[in-house]
Structure 1
């Protein structure tokens, strides 16, 4: 076996191709022996310069040796591949997985041979209008075997999954074990040595068993990320997991962790490592990335916009970072396509059942910036119901857009009040602003009058936390200026004054979370105006004042921790196919706004006890 960049124990650690025609008469329009080697885990886009923009199929092949043992089952386990994957073993089609980012496994016992085995995998990162997500995304659609691939040996009767959770603050702990091949009446031993606890769980005819016990464990929190080694054992198998115990809940417009009120001092991320292009895939990648979140003073990370590698939640558990995990229901998808709904359900099911033992995960998110429609409502309600049926111990949210056209129209009128009273605008612009106010008549606002923006998306009724993406300091000026016939510079300067008097709220008696705000800045670019570090820092100051005005807001995750690859971001010399809203650049250099947000998180807003 060739060893390369694979994780220890990884099935792929490099690529050893060996496929040639049997003689000169056989026509093969491929040649594995003459093809390039690729490291797994890892996306193919950033391993080869000519594949950076490639969105289509790639074939993987390797030989491996194994001696199957009697009474054992063998499973090919994939940590995640993007987006459509077909697996062939010794010439036999084994499985097809549609939908990226999530783990899956294939029982290959019957297809294995003693000695050499030929594994071929096709991975295609092309997205379609019915896929999840669709082809238009604002991140890089990294393709290939982006996470570990392993061959796992189990007994014929084996454990499949286990769930352990704190039931209530009295200290009662509940659990479920799921098995395959065990007979009704067989037992699974669950033990937590540090709590001097062990119990025998009897498996029923459905292969599952439940247990409950009064354990009173030390509770996990950002200040004390306590984890326990929990072991699960059958007569033939022993597995373990590190699990923390905590209780997250919403009461009215507030959020409580372990019975104490808390605010989410957060930041959004993408699954890209610091200092290297491509998809993050190792524990070290997430330790570095989330380490910057801790340095920022964050206690919460929004893992946007898709499921991350399993290491992400494990590292968050250890560091004491609460986590928002999300599936890529992004912008507009095929709401009325039953196959699309099944892909989405599969993604959320695999994510939830992988991470339901991670104390750090406190929010499951089902969507980002999806415009209102009745089909969208039906689709997301079905997905929310799916989540709650799997796990009702966490909060459910979605990043909402609001009514953007109405919000911009209302904001423009308030900006007119500031413009009409300003000595910094031209006479022509002042006349435009005054004409707007005259037209509004009795409804014309005054400078300093409060502007309350209320999020009333009906999806909020189905959520536990109403989250909202807004860009007052960035995109809104670009949209408003041409509508008014004034300069963008004027609108941007007025916007900072206006934001001090903005109140954000939701039409529901629920906590509100600002899931995105931000501004672009090229690291090292200094001066005035957009793309400078100074302008980005001023946006964060203005946003912070707006947050302070808004008592319903219980958390925020500004966009974004690190500059990341994005095909839609093409501005030469500034973006160069990167979204520049990061508080650090792609190599980890901190921008001024990093320190602005850090100072805010050290202030009074976060202190709610």
Structure 2
């Protein structure tokens, strides 16, 4: 190993140690919890005054001018240069960009503060502060003490609260949120979506016993329709567990062996989960001190030969890409109502699958997909040109991958973990991405792992090949193509063929063209609804010539969304207009073309 490699490895270890998080608690929805959602007071701090002193040194914990400390004057002579007031409030969960006009483009730090009382339900409990997501860096303080820091704008995290720190009255919780983009973060500086800042998902205080079930997995074995397997992980001393599925009259006791709780048992009477029959079972797992419940569907999924098999049978995926945004409100999606809108629109289009791009969406989305029978591609924001040569960046990507999989590994709807999108081919990049694929398979061997790959558009006359070296390691060979929008006109599809050097299922993870709703012209007029309609007619005709291993498509995308890269003053005005729906929820002409094709593909 070279000195440089050793240095980079040590740097990565130092970073992961310095910023280590408490182990993520999964299945948080079934826990005794106190919501801290609601109105939070705030201070805008673009110069980081509350974090650094005038020499730009991090302030002492007891510094009265640190914004994590109380700002009330002890008397009229005391100098105070910061304060929280009901005059300045933001709603949590929610991005700050849509809540105040001055924050539309804001990138920087905002301090959030919430005072609250707290009733402890049981003596001797442990308490954790849980965040569904904060974009991007969160520094968390309770009653003047720092609980920890987290990076990653779309995945959950939690910190344990020392029992002595949590009071019955007048707790003072402060979160410094910084959504600035940096070259060595995930995602990096350059993205094609709006950088919504803030505490964008739920905040809870979770009450748990001294030894509790931190995480568990219960799934069918990859190639078995009747045998379940999994594990239970404890925070504290492991104890034997009992697994119950009341509807199947199953009650299985599992002992502790070598400090672990692992199990395997038959599920001979289970109805399998599928888009046509999204059966979920109540599951109860009980230890000597704890109990968790969940609703779980049982199904198998794998890439075998030229096909994707769901419950052992080939499936064609009629999909759509979705951004975690509610366009009519120009904001991040976070609520049950938001999930119902987005997935409801996908169902109306005729989809049996969604690609949740380009980051993990709110947990409500995958839980609702479970109950609706919608297959899910879930992705981390390794996007375009991050620093693939950095061991530190790799550790950050692995952390987000781990948090995504830990949160959702019991969701039947999730069939693909994606490790990135449109990453440029190079040996360094391929090694980086291969590391992520390996990590995903270590965490979960029951699902497919993929990424949106690069296309070789110069393979030969009228032939485009997907020969990205990363294709060797993925289960599903997925690629993005925009023939007729970024390359030529849609009629070029008439003579174009596609192929891959890999004997694996073949999938189009993006394709699309922009159209401003209500703007009409002939089919040659860019940004008109007629151009987008023509684009999809030609694309769908071209798909009839796809090779035998073609297994589905997720066009780009469900609804128009905000992007600072899209600056045509007449047709875009800060919006990517490739949606089937516009920013007001109206269907464009292309919607009906795609829906009719999907209807023809139903089993």
Q: Same fold (TM over 0.5)?
A: yes
Determine which of 9, 12, 24 is the counterpart of 2:37. 12
The answer to whether 1:180 aligns with 2:235 is yes
Report deviation, 1:455. Answer: 0.8
Q: Is the 8 A contact 1:324 1:361 kept in 2?
A: yes
TM-score by length of 2: 0.86
The answer to whether 1:30 aligns with 2:41 is no
Aligned match of 2:115: 63
Report deviation, 1:26. Answer: 3.6
Q: Deviations over 1:370-414 (max 9, x none)?
A: 10111111111111110000001111111012235x36xx6xxx6
Q: Deviations over 1:246-290 (max 9, x none)?
A: 111111121111111111111101001253211100121111111
Distance 1:344 1:131 in 2: 9
Aligned match of 2:362: 309
Distance 1:468 1:148 in 2: 34
Describe the SS at the equivalent of 1:189: strand
Alignment map for 1:338-357 (pairs within 5 Å): 338-357=391-410
Distance 2:334 2:275 in 1: 24
Distance verdict in 2 for CA 1:34–1:225, change over 3 Å: closer
Alignment map for 1:282-297 (pairs within 5 Å): 282-297=335-350
Alignment map for 1:409-420 (pairs within 5 Å): none
Report deviation, 1:127. Answer: 1.3
The answer to whether 1:594 aligns with 2:588 is no
Determine which of 444, 459, 471 is the counterpart of 2:470. 459
Distance 1:302 1:67 in 2: 41
The answer to whether 1:472 aligns with 2:469 is no
Aligned match of 1:484: none
The answer to whether 1:580 aligns with 2:577 is yes
Aligned match of 1:335: 388
Aligned match of 2:530: 534
Q: Deviations over 1:148-177 (max 9, x none)?
A: 000010111111011110114341111211
Determine which of 503, 512, 526 is the counterpart of 2:506. 512
Distance 2:382 2:78 in 1: 45
Distance 2:482 2:277 in 1: 34
The answer to whether 1:365 aligns with 2:418 is yes
Q: Is the 8 A contact 1:181 1:207 kept in 2?
A: no
Describe the SS at the equivalent of 2:130: strand
Determine which of 134, 140, 159 is the counterpart of 2:194. 140
Describe the SS at the equivalent of 1:255: strand
Q: Is the 8 A contact 2:401 2:440 kept in 1?
A: yes
Alignment gaps of 5+ in structure 1: 1-7, 415-450, 478-491
Q: Is the 8 A contact 2:456 2:464 kept in 1?
A: no
Q: Deviations over 1:90-124 (max 9, x none)?
A: 11111000111001111003432342211110010
Q: Is the 8 A contact 1:268 1:560 kept in 2?
A: yes
Report deviation, 1:52. Answer: 0.7
Alignment map for 1:541-560 (pairs within 5 Å): 541-551=537-547, 552-560=549-557
Determine which of 278, 299, 302 is the counterpart of 1:225. 278
Q: Which is higher, the Rg of structure 1 or of structure 2?
A: 1
Determine which of 517, 520, 530 is the counterpart of 1:523. 517
The answer to whether 1:214 aligns with 2:267 is yes
The answer to whether 1:562 aligns with 2:559 is yes
Describe the SS at the equivalent of 1:359: coil
Determine which of 38, 47, 54 is the counterpart of 2:99. 47
Aligned match of 2:17: none
Distance 2:257 2:41 in 1: 45
The answer to whether 1:200 aligns with 2:197 is no
Q: Deviations over 1:475-530 (max 9, x none)?
A: 112xxxxxxxxxxxxxx2xx41x312222111100011111110000111111211
Aligned match of 2:206: 152
Structure with more of its chain in helix, by fraction: 1
Q: Is the 8 A contact 1:274 1:289 kept in 2?
A: no
Aligned match of 2:19: none
Q: Is the 8 A contact 2:333 2:339 kept in 1?
A: yes
Q: Is the 8 A contact 2:455 2:464 kept in 1?
A: no
Alignment gaps of 5+ in structure 2: 1-32, 43-69
Which stretch shows the higher mean deviation, 210-219 or 162-171?
Answer: 210-219
Q: Is the 8 A contact 1:265 1:300 kept in 2?
A: yes
Q: Is the 8 A contact 1:188 1:234 kept in 2?
A: yes
